[in-house]
């Protein structure tokens, strides 16, 4: 009887110990994802675009840019984007090294990386040239608000 009690008592300790290890192994909850977006259009061609990021304890951390190309757009369009740090009256540095992509109509995204101090304001700048056969290509550009 005594050995049976010890066996059950030992089994009861294992899940408690395992639960303690699992709790200790999980880091603090990650920062909530954030999103800055903007759009532009020209002659029935449309672009919606945004930058995904989160804030850690000291920095804005950029993770990806996503977009939606719509309206009259076809499957050959030229998208340029960069995430900048607003330096007021000085040139704004690009923290993502910029991208120039050929994109199709519909949704798309690109993993990017960049970081800047929380004390800095950052924003996404972009431009889109929509390919139009046998005509001048529509173009639009813009930027998101600063955060």
- List the domains of the chain with CATH numbers: 34-143 (2.60.40)
The radius of gyration of the chain from alpha carbons, rounded to an integer in Å, stands at 25
Q: What is the structure's pLDDT at 25?
A: 42
DSSP state, residue 3: H
* 97-128: burial string, b at 16+ Cβ within 10 Å, e else: eeeeeebebeebeeebebbbeeebbbbbbbbb
**137 has a pLDDT exceeding 80:** yes
CA 52 from centroid of its chain's CA atoms: 2
**Comparison of pLDDT for 13 and 123, the residue scoring more:** 123
Query: Positive or negative, the Cα torsion across 69, 85, 144, 32?
Result: positive
Q: What is the structure's pLDDT at 24?
A: 42
Q: What is the structure's pLDDT at 70?
A: 98
Supply the pTM of this predicted model. Answer: 0.78
Q: What is the structure's pLDDT at 133?
A: 87
Q: What percent of the chain has pLDDT over 90?
A: 74
Mean pLDDT, all residues of the chain: 85
The average pLDDT across 101-126 equals: 98
Between 25-39, 69-83, 118-132, the lowest mean confidence (pLDDT) is in 25-39
Query: CB atoms < 10 A from the CB of 30, how many?
Result: 8
Q: What is the structure's pLDDT at 97?
A: 94
The average pLDDT across 60-83 equals: 97
Q: What is the structure's pLDDT at 94?
A: 97
Q: What is the structure's pLDDT at 30?
A: 61
């Amino acid at each position: 009887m005594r050995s049976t009690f010890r066996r059950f008592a030992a089994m009861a300790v294992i899940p408690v110990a395992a639960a303690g290890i699992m709790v200790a192994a999980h880091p603090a909850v990650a920062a909530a994802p954030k999103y800055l977006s903007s759009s532009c259009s020209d002659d029935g061609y449309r672009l919606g675009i945004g930058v995904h990021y989160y804030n850690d304890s000291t920095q804005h951390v950029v993770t990806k840019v996503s977009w939606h190309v719509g309206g009259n757009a076809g499957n050959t369009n030229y998208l340029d984007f960069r995430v900048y740090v607003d330096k007021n009256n000085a040139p704004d540095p690009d923290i993502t090294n910029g991208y120039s992509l050929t994109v199709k109509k519909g949704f798309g995204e690109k993993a990017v990386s960049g970081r800047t101090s929380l004390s800095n304001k950052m924003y996404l700048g972009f431009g889109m040239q929509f390919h139009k056969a046998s005509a001048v290509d529509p173009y639009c550009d813009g930027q998101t608000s600063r955060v």
